[in-house]
Chains A and B, each alone.
Chain A
Amino acid sequence: MRPAGRPPRCRFIFRWDHPPVLFELREVGFSRGGRRVLESVSAGLPAGATAIVGPSGSGKSTLLRLLNRLADPDSGEIAYRERPLGEYEPLALRREVALVPQLPALLEGTVESNLRYAAGLAGREPDVSRALRLAGLGAEFAERDVGRLSVGEQQRAMLARALAQEPRVLLLDEPTSALDHAARDAIEAALVELRRELEISFVLVSHDPEQARRLAEWVVRIESGRIAGCGPLAEAFA
């Protein structure tokens, strides 16, 4: 394992002036129903804002799910903060590395009850209005029933719910894919604000390279389950 502070490993780009490695994937493979979804994926994801981009079905979301052990790779190894993921207790890992899925899936009840549930899992007393504000929602949303929210509001409530746990890393799976432009812009603004206000890293999966340009500092390109490129934003799209 590489010592802290050294640059992330990547098949194509290797530099010494990058932020420290958050996740390091080494020869990671994953199959589903006999189909190889990921093949020999080796890449480093640094602290900060990373985007995993690629076409639909390229294995981006699968890769994201491996990062907080919603699934485990068939082969290879993933390390988080220089420790293999297998050494982490899965529940504790997920409270530190929170995943916000592509489609909103809130629990029945109000927005606040969802936030309290998530914070309770992490053993925290939630600051509901702060979490809502960070996710771009007004305090009045706390009492709203989740069944009466628009998809965009639900997605921001999902973000607020994850933030209520005060995670160190956010994994965002296509957070705006189901939204119109206005809702997408609101979520993106919330993410930019989040990065400015909190010491939090995020890994964003997106099929849209433009979104990666707007939000990320580091980009991993993936095609047909293989790494097609990786590096700082300016170089990844050069």
Chain B
Amino acid sequence: MTTAALSTSIHVSIGQVAASLALVALAAAVSYWWKADLERDIGIATVRSLVQLTLVGYAIKLIFEADTIWLVLLLLAVMVVFGAITARHRATKVPGAFRPLLIALALAGASTLGLVVALGIFEPTPRYLVPVGGMVIGNAMTAAAVALNRLGDEMADSRARIEATLALGATAREAAMPTVRRSLRSGMITLVDSTKTTGLIFFPGTMVGMLLAGANPTDAVRLQLILLYTLLGSVSIAALVATGLAYRNFFTPAQQLRDLEAEPAETPA
């Protein structure tokens, strides 16, 4: 894909952004009238999105202007670390979840970005790697967090069955496999389902953005397809690696199921 194909751009004024806050007011009003008690959260979300996206916008602008791969890799590494920290908070029932998450996100990001560059789909420049990397790591984070959240619940619910299987002389891997399989499925199913309904029930963000920016619909669709398939790959790698590593933390080296209720709880970073 060439730079020219994606070079269409539109100018959005501060006034237009401010006008869109009317919809935020509508959301707050709905919450107020229906006593959903979300006004404060809506306010925080609005301010945080404004500050975070503005800062990221400036950071990306700097990285684009510097045009060096090292800055891109640094940004992606920071995303991986913060992604792993965020996902760990959603996987509190999994002991030592940070390390599997960190490895899962790093592998998902590196392998999918490496592949799309190696196949010549995107050029190895900040303009492609930063936004695509952000999407890949963000989706991988969500998938890994959902998978490990499910893994924690399933390991607790299936404790009797897992220990009964261990008691027959099964390895930890054999005893945990049905649980790991269900957790992996949980991590991947959302994206698989949304990919199935793409174009029918919803238009994905990249395509909408490109159409709004005046791009040719054919180009918008093709780019969206590339991104969807890239995300499918990254999500599957992240969920697979995260669950494949994290389940081991429930067992001792002697293939015993750890008694987590009797151990001091971990405090997420």
Residue interface bits B155-174, CB-to-A below 8 A is 1, else 0 = 00000110111111111001
Assembly CA distance A121 to B259 (angstroms): 24
Would you call B221 an interface residue if the criterion is a C-beta within 8 Å of the partner chain's C-beta atoms?
no
Assembly CA distance A105 to B166 (angstroms): 11
Binds B, one of A68-76, A133-141, A229-237: A68-76
Assembly CA distance A69 to B166 (angstroms): 10
Q: Chain B, interface size: which category?
A: 20 to 34
| Cross-chain contact of A108 among B160, B178, B256 (Cβ < 8 A) | B178
Given contacts A33-B262, A70-B257, A105-B160, contact A122 B169 (CB under 8 A): yes
Q: Which residues of B contact A105 (CB under 8 A)?
A: 160-161, 163-165
Given contacts A32-B262, A33-B261, A107-B178, contact A70 B163 (CB under 8 A): yes
Q: Is the CB of A94 within 8 A of B169?
A: yes
Smallest CB separation, A188 vs chain B (Å): 21
| Cross-chain contact of B169 among A32, A71, A72, A165 (Cβ < 8 A) | A165
| Cross-chain contact of B165 among A72, A93, A103, A107 (Cβ < 8 A) | A107
Assembly CA distance A121 to B255 (angstroms): 14
Would you call B22 an interface residue if the criterion is a C-beta within 8 Å of the partner chain's C-beta atoms?
no
Assembly CA distance A99 to B160 (angstroms): 12
CB-CB nearest in chain A for B167: A99
Would you call A162 an interface residue if the criterion is a C-beta within 8 Å of the partner chain's C-beta atoms?
yes
Assembly CA distance A94 to B167 (angstroms): 6
Assembly CA distance A91 to B169 (angstroms): 4
Q: Which residues of B contact A49 (CB under 8 A)?
A: none
Chain A contact residue count (CB 8 A cutoff): 31
Total of A-B residue pairs, C-beta within 8 Å: 68
Q: Which residues of B contact A90 (CB under 8 A)?
A: 254-256
Given contacts A33-B261, A71-B256, contact A92 B169 (CB under 8 A): yes
Residue interface bits A89-103, CB-to-B below 8 A is 1, else 0 = 011111100111101
Residue interface bits A103-126, CB-to-B below 8 A is 1, else 0 = 101111000000001100110000
Would you call A161 an interface residue if the criterion is a C-beta within 8 Å of the partner chain's C-beta atoms?
yes
Q: Is the CB of B168 within 8 A of A161?
A: yes
Smallest CB separation, B166 vs chain A (Å): 6
| Cross-chain contact of B166 among A32, A94, A158 (Cβ < 8 A) | A94
CB-CB nearest in chain A for B252: A72
Q: Is the CB of B262 within 8 A of A68?
A: no
CB-CB nearest in chain B for A101: B164
Assembly CA distance A95 to B165 (angstroms): 11
Assembly CA distance A122 to B168 (angstroms): 8
Smallest CB separation, A195 vs chain B (Å): 21
Given contacts A91-B171, A108-B178, contact A70 B166 (CB under 8 A): yes
Given contacts A90-B254, A99-B167, contact A32 B161 (CB under 8 A): no
Q: Is the CB of A32 within 8 A of B164?
A: no
CB-CB nearest in chain A for B163: A70
Smallest CB separation, B215 vs chain A (Å): 49
Q: Which residues of A contact B168 (CB under 8 A)?
A: 94-95, 98, 117-118, 121-122, 161-162, 165
| 5 pairs, A vs B, C-beta closer than 8 Å | A32-B262, A69-B254, A91-B170, A107-B178, A165-B168
Interface residues in chain A, defined as those with a beta carbon under 8 Å from any beta carbon in chain B: 32-34, 68-72, 90-95, 98-101, 103, 105-108, 117-118, 121-122, 158, 161-162, 165
Query: Can you list the 3 inter-chain pairs with the closest CB atoms, starting with the nearest?
Result: A95-B169, A33-B262, A105-B164
